[in-house]
Amino acid sequence: MFGRWAPQLGILWDLIIATVVATVAVQYRGHSIGDAVIGVSMAAALIFRRYAPVRVFAVVTVLASVQVLVASAVPAAYDVALLVAMLAVVTHSRDQRAVHLSGVVVAFGVVVVALVRIDDSWSGSVFDYPYLAEHVAALAGCGALWLFAYVLRTNRERGVVLAERAATAERERDHLARLAAADERAFIARELHDVVAHSLAVMIAQTDGARYVIDTDTERAREAMRTVADTGREALDDMHRIVAVLRGAGGEEEDPEDRRRRGLGQLGTVVERARSAGLDVETRFDGDVGRLSAADELTVFRIVQESLTNVLRHAGTGTRVVVTLSVDRGRAVLEVGDDGAPGSMTSGGGNGLLGMRERVAVHGGEFSAGPGTDGGWLVRAMIPVREAA
């Protein structure tokens, strides 16, 4: 609850510390104007310890040195400002060298004070030094304060790092969720286009054929209408499946490969429907097609389905189509070529070509579509084979 007031509280705390140090400087040695000036100067410098900790420490160190070496050999009570400045460097400075150097300077200062206080009565033995216990305690206290501040600094930096990692992980999680949603939308769009475009093209062709022969060949008209009904039912089933994926109604028990159930086993049905719609379709398979995964088979199935639909829509009935699938050397190459009028596929079908290109790109393959060398239109897709079915 104090987070929003933290800067104001920090400034107030610095002012309180500076006021205490200045008060001590004025009252501790009121008879010496020099001591009072040095102490008040230290207090004024401490106000800026959060913003320029290294500079404030340097200023306070110089003032403390003047106080000990010039004004008085005995440290004054307001020299505690040097410890406050040291703690400011440890907790607020970004320079790691300054953090360690501040502790060395304070320790060196304690030694200097000890040397300054040596008088003629000292025999030269360390154990006979009258202020030995006092200075050892001061040195230990300064070291303990430095270590305490350094631990606080380390914990704060660790907390910042952990907070940054948590924020980064959350951003990555959101990004992955958006990518997954975009991939799902792209999948649904491709499936809808393939199902609707192919099914409607076949149904329209069969209906037109039935309308033309209904008076002369009733049985053939009935067969065409049965094909229309079967195609409509299958399209409706695919639509239900896609809508279930869109709504997430499959539940946890849904097979994740269910959306890829279309494969080479169902390719014959698509070919037969294209033939019944008036296309002369020939299929050629070369190599071990069993090496294709379910995802690979779905891509091959949809490309063939979309290509036959485009031929039926743009080149018309009577067009010869050759579907070639070869699997060799870790890749599958699919070619769907027809002998229709060159350039007939360039008008319309943009979404279909885009969908086929996206499907191949998902596998890291290559896709091309354009006029064939012998006329007509050629669709070619190369898909790397990564796993066995």
Together in a domain, 19 and 160 = yes
Provide the pLDDT for residue 257. 44
Report yes or no on 209 lying in a domain.
yes
Report yes or no on 347 lying in a domain.
yes
Together in a domain, 202 and 152 = no
Report which secondary-structure segment, H or E, holds 104. helix 96-116
Point out the domain boundary residue: 128, 149, 167. Answer: 167
Point out the domain boundary residue: 127, 145, 167. Answer: 167
- Residues lower than pLDDT 50 in the chain: 1-2, 120-121, 249-260, 344, 346-349, 388-389
DSSP string, 233-248: HHHHHHHHHHHHHHHT
Residue whose C-alpha is closest to residue 63's, from 26, 90, 86, 34: 34
Q: Is the pTM of this model over 0.85?
A: no
3-state SS, one letter per residue, for 288-338: CHHHCCHHHHHHHHHHHHHHHHHHHHHHCCCCEEEEEEEEECCEEEEEEEE
Provide the pLDDT for residue 121. 47
Together in a domain, 213 and 287 = no
Provide the pLDDT for residue 255. 47
Structural domain span for residue 183: 171-247
Together in a domain, 143 and 29 = yes
Together in a domain, 152 and 178 = no
Please write the tens of the pLDDT for every residue from 102-141: 889 888 888 877 777 665 445 555 555 656 677 788 888 8
Together in a domain, 153 and 194 = no
Together in a domain, 132 and 226 = no
Together in a domain, 209 and 353 = no
Report yes or no on 253 lying in a domain.
no
Provide the pLDDT for residue 113. 76
Please tell me what DSSP assigns to residue 367. Answer: E
Point out the domain boundary residue: 247, 270, 298. Answer: 247
Kindly give, in sequence order, each residue whose CB lies less than 8 Å from that of residue 228, ignoring residues fewer than 6 positions away: 202, 203, 206, 207, 210
Together in a domain, 238 and 97 = no
Report yes or no on 95 lying in a domain.
yes
CATH number at residue 223: 1.20.5.1930
For 34, what's the count of Cα atoms within 13 Å in the CB-facing half-sphere?
A: 10
Report yes or no on 389 lying in a domain.
no
Q: How many domains does the chain have?
A: 3
CB 70 within 8 A of CB 62: no
Together in a domain, 354 and 369 = yes
